Amino acid sequence: MNGLRFFWTFFWGFLLIHMASYVVNNMTGGHYDFMTATILSVIAIVVIFIIAEVIPNEPVAKHDHH
């Protein structure tokens, strides 16, 4: 199950970063570059995986403040 999480994160991250790159380049009058969008998507996905590993999964203990 853990492998599927990585696959789907990569799949959707790759598609969404490419779509965003295409739209931004069209709006600014630039040209779409597949390799630049691919490099950006890989960097973004690695950052997402790092953030997901750093955030703790344990619930925070409730403290009663009176």
**Single-letter amino acid code for the residue at 38:** T
pLDDT in tens, 14-64: 999 999 999 999 999 999 999 999 999 999 999 999 998 898 787 777 777
Q: What residue ranges do the domains of the chain occupy?
A: 11-50
3-class secondary structure, 52? helix
SS (H, E, C) 13-43: HHHHHHHHHHHHHHHHCCCCCHHHHHHHHHH
Quickly count: other Cβ atoms within 10 Å of residue 24's Cβ.
Answer: 12
* Encoded tokens for 20: 């965003």
Q: How far apart are CA 24 and CA 43, in angstroms?
A: 18
pLDDT of 65 over the 90 cut: no
